[in-house]
Structure 1
């Protein structure tokens, strides 16, 4: 078989094709005399080429064949060619594990362990492994028998007879059998000790969870008791000697190597505590001193060796403690902190290769699953599995984890565990680091079935699965709902009618019977939807109860759930996504406006689960969306309906953000600056109404004139609209201006503009359940008796000849909002000299403004209204602050550019910066204006209709108080604080505005 010099032999080429990386060495090995009977058999090359590392497999085969006596060698070679099961298993193991190849070379007859292929051999349990270890009488023979059993497990694994979970379970069962055998050896060596004590071995960690690695510490806890009549102290000492001997048998290195270290550091007090304790001593420790992580570890506890009754008693005694652990203070935070600590201890050079402990590694899956188990398992015994994949399946079946998320985690966990198994199998060394060497990566990839570009494919698949694990770990492990569920008492985690009724009464529901009917409607039955509701509702009930109207919150939740009941993402969103559930609870129980908006468009609940969803949208994209919707509509009525749909959704977004920003959630505390909340609402509602008017204008124009009017047309915002200070129920104060296009008659243009205004108003006044957008044009020249729309030249003529001081004051807030931008800009240029008069106001003008303000106070205050609590016209309210600021603007705007703004707070800030008002006075006026605005917003949110005074209904008043940050029972403090803040503001107004 010698190759011709300078030419590659056909065998060399075939070996390359079969996956050999060193064909020359393979040729030499195939030329050994021992392989003469089989070296030309194509079946052998096919089988070698199918292994993870054909070069390693061939080298191992040669060593095994050379180690046989002649008769045994012939039997092996004959079986190798004729028996495919043996061939695949033996070569598969040799190509994946150098260590097991060494074992077979040392124990040549152990290849017989791979011959049998019977049903019992496919999935052996502890009993079969005990028979395999039965002849071991000392540590050395136990190691040989252990490796023989391990050889069969590895063969089933690499040939795909068992999957990764079954392999891990077999390894745990082999560990159980080994512990029993080691204990038997220890007992035989010390019969006197064995006679006076009972010893139980409790498996922990991966062995306890039936998911052991090929090479891993086997974590255990030892429990000892005296036999009847024996002294307890002496019995515990005897049990300790037996346990220590068991550990040495498994852990010490002999000529046959080691089995695995037995680690007892999970015992009470760790390595500083006694190796063996009595059952009562264990319980005393767990009840008084144990830390959170110790209960998490006990989740996988399983009695595996020694006295079976004592082991069962231990498990029965500690199990209730495991499922009470979530009730400990800061339980969820402690578990999360422990996981972060583990990641932080990984050396920086290894973190990207760490398959077990690193981000996106196996521990991420295990910690997330265990945390969910411990929180939800108190009321659901189906979650009490120590096996990660079984527990994950139970969590998915119970609705605690989404099916898609569970499936992705299951797939990723299996892939990562398979990687870990094959990395360890190579040299039977305890490691969780992905190798860096190209040859190691190639073997690893091929062992996982990745034959095309095994290295690059392996890296790609590994990173993909690690990314999935990390994403879902962050989603599940840090889920806000978890901490809330953990804080419930055990009886509250699963709702029974009686428990629910008692809880409802305790939480302060006004109508527990009606609330209970809602709960039963939402959570009864065996559907997945009902299961998820049963998880959500105990927490939601508490959040509803934290509001002024829990009953309304629960009723709203039922209505939303009924509306979205067949929508698959709805309950998944509440269970999985950030603070969505808490956000929804806050919104539904805070008043009428937001729930009413949501119930007309329930799909808007998705906003609450999007971290960016509560941010207000800017006017430009909002207007583009409205105009696009108008453009798709078939009629003007349909166009405005589409625009209203956008407005409804965006009003809900704004209201929800306002409520959540005011109340805060577990993840996001309430914003400290109420002014920021006020500004956000004012800007958002203003931009939304501007976009809606732009849509109504486009719809009115398209209906009759197509895309181009014979006259330029603009809508000018006035009052709070122009000032970007709208509240939820404000009208839109406007002026309409037009300018005929070239060669268009002015009369015709004016008629057209008036028809456009009439059509806009008609469309916006069509009956609807949505909050109305009313256009108020009473601030136009000549008020209600003046023309609805004027040309720019007509405005110029009017203001030049007839304008009164109050009209100049009203123009302080004029800002273009819709229509022709150029025309709007020219309108602003026209009015600037009126609202910021050169050299300021004369004395007569100042007196006139003061007279108008005093008259308004006396004439427009509603009869019977408390002037100390009226937010608009009352003492120190909105009108007081705004007129004071506007007087400063008109007096000084010509000289101070910062005062030339339509916004009250910005103008007040500019006046302070210019030295026109002291810091203390500016703060007092700003506080009063912000508070009065927030009260108006709160009243609208709570009642669903606008109001300028505090509600008289007690529950509504409490809800406004909650919105303003007052705890239940403190509405009196709220009213006192409002009076105090506005009284101080009125004193400033008396000095600055009235000159008192």
Structure 2
């Protein structure tokens, strides 16, 4: 009974330490000659292993095979470092446990500090050559000792020596002494040393062949990049040259192929030690169909003429591994220039991207969600992204010419090609995925990169072992799978961001000599691109790219590409100057250059806008941070009036003074002007959308400024104004058709509060209007907004502000025909809404007369139109090219539409609108205009409005005519979407032809409609 109780206590204690079956664990401890109470340290070490049961079973087997088991037990009790290393190995790798069981005393390899020291590549080479009896100092061609009569004894010894080195490496890896970087590099160096020893054995077996050739083994893939797995094919390319003993080159190549084949068989041979790995030469020229070994000149000739994109990608990691070191270096020196020029080949980027998609498409469906190497979000996503970036940008930046993925990521980040956060995220993900892959392979030392199936009992146990080895303790399986899903998702996101980055295509298409321009090259390039002042442009380039800062590095990548976009714009010099000014204004703002690098469309749009529009450049320089809107077309869409009002209200609440509050509102207007102008030039918004957006933000600005003015003036009048004021929009403002250079045409109407005298009320209203005008026009960094009151009764001779009763009396007794016509566009936009409604009701009686407009009034309108054409058209202006007053221009279309309103709006409510295009649409639907005539008028109006607005955008100042200056006219045509073509007339001439044709047709329609009785 006592024995049973003690046994139960022991089994329970073992179970609490992580052993799955306490009673079984107790028996295995006894078999190993250990006791829980006496050997607590050893039991704890086993319990901390990835799989405590596997570790204990392995220890039991080891004790059974050990000739001196007591020495093993004593070491476990007295040497904590040894027992931790041994327990970790036994609990993670069945294959290494088998090795320890086969070779008594090998556990001693884990003893002492020396076993934890990372050996150099030279040490590994010397050690593996000693194992096969070769002299490491015989550097050109070490030869193995023949050894015993058994021809396989040396290759067997090589495999044992290799496993011994892997045992030490795994102990460092599993106890956290080694890092992923050092582990992968040591595995690659160990593979190289093993190939050197295998080649020494091959020379011993084939002495005649060895005399006729010099052979170099070139490492490719992970081995070439010094990032090898525990078990992976070692990809090689073989190059050879004849020696003096060879009768000719062909005989030397046959001898080299024989020697290389013998070398490649040795690591792949199987005996009691198992297979180490396969040596794969499929990456050689012509693949498996090509000769195994070629001379150097044949390699170079092939790569110069026939190599495909994937072959240059493979050569990215090429480095000498074994054999003739001098020949290996010569090979790498010869192919390197070809590798770094490959990105300039047609469709290079597209080929690499397509290759990655093919890899994913060939993954079996049953494994696609568990593939940590080839699947989406796996290692290949990281490697392909990094390699493509290296090949494209490495043409001009030698710092990117490195083989290892992590090393390359650091270089890409340092050079500004990848954001710091993105690079850090990929590095973390890469280390995690490689760590998982290492642990998967270490279990049986077999090549695999598929996570076990969690629905299978054995797979679930393997996942638990992996999770514990990675440090997940609470729920090893669940935490591992969650981490894998999170990492895969992040890798896929970054892969798609970097791998399909438009900048890659743009840089890859640059000629080789333009990727990194020298001083003279840059000057010649600028002159050839059409820069009027190459010296000045060169100074801008030097200012942007000089220095070693991250900002300068990113600019050095962007600017060779952007030069072409600047050259495509009407004014390349202004574009580059503007880009420099914006870049300097934003300084080291982290998001700016990251945005240009990661979303090359933003950089292209910047080049286009800055090289096209002085208006946009000036707005952007006032608020450079607004460049962020170029990233998304959704940010260029007109913002709702309610949203703008909310922002304006917030600005008013934030500031104590009326000046500061209205300055903030004007800054809001400036941002919206930039948004609208950008959308206009990029073709995202049409004429109607531009007019609507400009009108909306102007109305919001006037409304907010009126509230600020009201608060100040009310204070001067004792807290409440003695009148209620409304701002009524007129002209284009009232019609919702404002352009960039338009003033805001308004009239002011007020109504005294009950009990207030008209004089007092008018004094307050005038004070309010003066303050409003002052706030909107006061000097500031943002464009002023001028209020034009010339359309008020009596024009410039009349009072600026009138009471509602005064308007009624004037319109009843004195109103001229032109004032009824002007009221067709009247629309309240700010102030007291009730006063606005009453004004509209008053205006409706004049603009929509009950019986229609009289014949006398029609004659007066026609007379006014003729007088305006004769008197208001500027002297010297071409009437066929004046967008506002010229024949078939804005005025013609608008007067025709307005006459239709005056005649028919009293009986057709649809005509009671302030917008010109809306009037034409209704007139067509009601049969007042033929559909063809309506379309002709609308087309001419849109074209004239577009041209007029674009003149302002291009020149930065308003203009009503197509420019007479050839350069300005060409710039205008280009901004309007015209392109110079060798087979057609010039863009400017085509614009003039199209404009005259559209307006000539509109003039014919207008004369028919306007003068038809």
Question: Normalising by the residue count of structure 1, what TM-score does the alignment of the two structures yield?
Answer: 0.92
Superposed, which structure 2 residues align to 1:763-802 within 5 Å?
763-792=775-804, 795=807, 798-799=810-811
| Superposed displacement of residue 898, structure 1 | 5.0
Superposed, which structure 2 residues align to 1:274-673 within 5 Å?
274-437=291-454, 438-609=460-631, 612-659=634-681, 661-662=682-683
| 1:99 match | 95
| Superposed displacement of residue 169, structure 1 | 0.9
Distance in 2 of aligned mates of 1:352 and 1:611: 35
Alignment deviations for residues 252-272 of structure 1 (CA, whole Å, 9 cap, x no partner):
554433222322222223333
| Superposed displacement of residue 805, structure 1 | 4.4
> Which runs of 5 or more residues in structure 2 are unaligned?
133-152, 455-459, 981-985
2:686 corresponds to 1:703: no
Q: Would the aligned equivalents of 1:126 and 1:176 in 2 still touch at CA under 8 Å?
A: no
Q: Would the aligned equivalents of 1:31 and 1:39 in 2 still touch at CA under 8 Å?
A: no
Superposed, which structure 2 residues align to 1:81-160 within 5 Å?
81-118=77-114, 121-125=117-121, 127-128=123-124, 131-132=127-128, 134-135=130-131, 137=153, 139-160=155-176
> Which runs of 5 or more residues in structure 1 are unaligned?
663-670
Distance in 1 of aligned mates of 2:30 and 2:665: 84
Q: Would the aligned equivalents of 1:876 and 1:984 in 2 still touch at CA under 8 Å?
A: yes
Alignment deviations for residues 391-442 of structure 1 (CA, whole Å, 9 cap, x no partner):
1111222233333332232222222221222222223333333334243333
| Superposed displacement of residue 860, structure 1 | 1.3
Distance in 1 of aligned mates of 2:277 and 2:469: 24
| Superposed displacement of residue 688, structure 1 | 1.6
Compared with structure 1, are the counterparts of its residues 637 and 242 closer, same or farther at alpha carbon in structure 2 (3 Å cutoff)? same
Q: Would the aligned equivalents of 1:130 and 1:178 in 2 still touch at CA under 8 Å?
A: no
Compared with structure 1, are the counterparts of its residues 912 and 386 closer, same or farther at alpha carbon in structure 2 (3 Å cutoff)? farther
Q: Would the aligned equivalents of 2:217 and 2:238 in 1 still touch at CA under 8 Å?
A: yes
Distance in 2 of aligned mates of 1:790 and 1:377: 73
| Superposed displacement of residue 484, structure 1 | 2.3
Compared with structure 1, are the counterparts of its residues 119 and 185 closer, same or farther at alpha carbon in structure 2 (3 Å cutoff)? closer
| Superposed displacement of residue 796, structure 1 | 5.2
Distance in 2 of aligned mates of 1:896 and 1:231: 102
Match of 1:244 among 261, 275, 281: 261
Distance in 2 of aligned mates of 1:145 and 1:123: 14
Equivalent residue of 1:118, what SS? helix
Equivalent residue of 2:105, what SS? helix
Alignment deviations for residues 772-794 of structure 1 (CA, whole Å, 9 cap, x no partner):
21111222334334443345555
Alignment deviations for residues 864-888 of structure 1 (CA, whole Å, 9 cap, x no partner):
1011111111122112222233344
Q: Would the aligned equivalents of 2:369 and 2:375 in 1 still touch at CA under 8 Å?
A: yes
Distance in 2 of aligned mates of 1:96 and 1:522: 54
Match of 1:49 among 44, 47, 50: 47
Distance in 2 of aligned mates of 1:856 and 1:976: 25
| Superposed displacement of residue 740, structure 1 | 4.6
Distance in 1 of aligned mates of 2:33 and 2:196: 41
| Superposed displacement of residue 627, structure 1 | 2.2
Compared with structure 1, are the counterparts of its residues 162 and 590 closer, same or farther at alpha carbon in structure 2 (3 Å cutoff)? same
Q: Would the aligned equivalents of 1:627 and 1:698 in 2 still touch at CA under 8 Å?
A: no
Compared with structure 1, are the counterparts of its residues 310 and 133 closer, same or farther at alpha carbon in structure 2 (3 Å cutoff)? closer
For the aligned residues, what is the CA RMSD? Answer: 2.9
Match of 1:677 among 686, 690, 696: 686
Q: Would the aligned equivalents of 2:713 and 2:768 in 1 still touch at CA under 8 Å?
A: no
Equivalent residue of 2:636, what SS? coil
Distance in 2 of aligned mates of 1:846 and 1:883: 11
| 1:754 match | 766
Distance in 2 of aligned mates of 1:15 and 1:742: 95
| 2:284 match | 267
Aligned residues: 979
Equivalent residue of 1:713, what SS? strand
Match of 1:930 among 930, 942, 947: 942
| Superposed displacement of residue 825, structure 1 | 4.8
| Superposed displacement of residue 343, structure 1 | 3.1
| 1:170 match | 186
2:22 corresponds to 1:23: yes
Compared with structure 1, are the counterparts of its residues 225 and 898 closer, same or farther at alpha carbon in structure 2 (3 Å cutoff)? farther
| Superposed displacement of residue 163, structure 1 | 0.7
Q: Would the aligned equivalents of 2:974 and 2:987 in 1 still touch at CA under 8 Å?
A: no
| 2:143 match | none
| Superposed displacement of residue 67, structure 1 | 1.9
| Superposed displacement of residue 725, structure 1 | 1.9
Q: Would the aligned equivalents of 1:881 and 1:985 in 2 still touch at CA under 8 Å?
A: yes
| 1:668 match | none
Q: Would the aligned equivalents of 1:325 and 1:331 in 2 still touch at CA under 8 Å?
A: yes
Distance in 1 of aligned mates of 2:889 and 2:943: 9
Q: Would the aligned equivalents of 1:735 and 1:780 in 2 still touch at CA under 8 Å?
A: yes
| Superposed displacement of residue 322, structure 1 | 0.8
Compared with structure 1, are the counterparts of its residues 785 and 61 closer, same or farther at alpha carbon in structure 2 (3 Å cutoff)? same
| 2:144 match | none
2:76 corresponds to 1:80: yes
| Superposed displacement of residue 936, structure 1 | 1.5
Distance in 2 of aligned mates of 1:836 and 1:240: 100
2:61 corresponds to 1:63: yes
Is the deviation greater in 337-346 or in 257-266? 337-346
Distance in 2 of aligned mates of 1:163 and 1:756: 74
Q: Would the aligned equivalents of 1:85 and 1:117 in 2 still touch at CA under 8 Å?
A: no
Is the deviation greater in 802-811 or in 572-581? 802-811
Distance in 2 of aligned mates of 1:542 and 1:480: 15
Q: Would the aligned equivalents of 1:130 and 1:181 in 2 still touch at CA under 8 Å?
A: no
| Superposed displacement of residue 150, structure 1 | 1.7
Distance in 2 of aligned mates of 1:902 and 1:3: 103
Equivalent residue of 1:902, what SS? coil
2:892 corresponds to 1:874: no
